[in-house]
Chain A
Amino acid sequence: DAGVIQSPRHEVTEMGQEVTLRCKPISGHNSLFWYRQTMMRGLELLIYFNNNVPIDDSGMPEDRFSAKMPNASFSTLKIQPSEPRDSAVYFCASSLVPGTAYFGEGSWLTVV
């Protein structure tokens, strides 16, 4: 079975550019999570969706970040405009509530 699929795997972009990270959850899972991992702050929950509906976006750092889940098989995390402090690994995870969250391989973002 395919796991959580994230793209791109690596992205280097210039400050001010728009970045879109994509996630395909495991088929049948009804919850989707976006996490950001940095050395300074560890794993931070940015937002999670349940049945495609955003439930808690209190972890989204600021208005430059937005996330959508137009259907059960796809989600995006967008940063516009990007800044160097956004450089991090962004993980998408999905779960069948209640249950274990399974993570994608992460999107490594570098903003220069």
Chain B
Amino acid sequence: AQKITQTQPGMFVQEKEAVTLDCTYDTSDQSYGLFWYKQPSSGEMIFLIYQGSYDEQNATEGRYSLNFQKARKSANLVISASQLGDSAMYFCAMSPTGNQFYFGTGTSLTVIP
């Protein structure tokens, strides 16, 4: 069974500060991908970052980095230097094969000026 857990329904961060959004997953597959998506209030789902289960280095994309701890089955998203435009819902997802994507329930991030 696949399961994604995001335990933080809502988070607040001061502008220009860093914030970590938590994600843990449960899978029996050895090979899988981990993804983070951003959903602003306008509703679209925007792909942010990807980490493969066999990647030894943590993925980074600009201000986004994924803190991947395989033994703990966690894939936390770190946003550095938060901006007001980062206020959105953030979804963690896992795909064992690329054929299915399993999503967490999301974390609502609010950046405070």
Contact (Cβ within 8 A) A43 B103: yes
Contact (Cβ within 8 A) A50 B45: no
Q: Which residues of A are at the interface with B, using a C-beta cutoff of 8 A?
A: 31, 33, 42-43, 45, 48, 50, 55-56, 89, 91, 93, 95, 97-106, 108
- CA of A64 to CA of B70, assembled, Å: 41
Main secondary structure of the interface of A (DSSP, over half): strand
- CA of A56 to CA of B104, assembled, Å: 19
Contact (Cβ within 8 A) A101 B101: yes
Contact (Cβ within 8 A) B45 A93: yes
- CA of A48 to CA of B45, assembled, Å: 17
27 contacts between A and B (CB under 8 A): A31-B98, A31-B99, A33-B101, A42-B103, A42-B104, A42-B105, A43-B91, A43-B103, A45-B101, A45-B102, A50-B99, A91-B45, A95-B98, A97-B98, A98-B33, A98-B98, A100-B35, A100-B47, A100-B50, A101-B35, A103-B45, A103-B46, A104-B44, A105-B43, A105-B44, A106-B44, A108-B43
Closest to A89 in B: B43
- CA of A48 to CA of B101, assembled, Å: 10
Q: Shortest Cβ distance from B22 into chain A, in angstroms? A: 16
Q: Which of A97, A99, A100 is the most central at the interface, judged by chain B CB atoms within 10 Å of its CB?
A: A100
Contact (Cβ within 8 A) B106 A42: yes
Interface string of B46-64 (1 = CB under 8 A from A): 1100100000000000000
Contact (Cβ within 8 A) A106 B98: no
Apart from A43-B91, A105-B44, what are 19 other A-B pairs with CB-CB below 8 Å? A42-B104, A45-B102, A48-B100, A56-B100, A89-B43, A93-B101, A97-B97, A97-B99, A98-B33, A98-B98, A99-B98, A100-B50, A101-B95, A103-B37, A103-B45, A103-B47, A105-B43, A106-B44, A108-B43
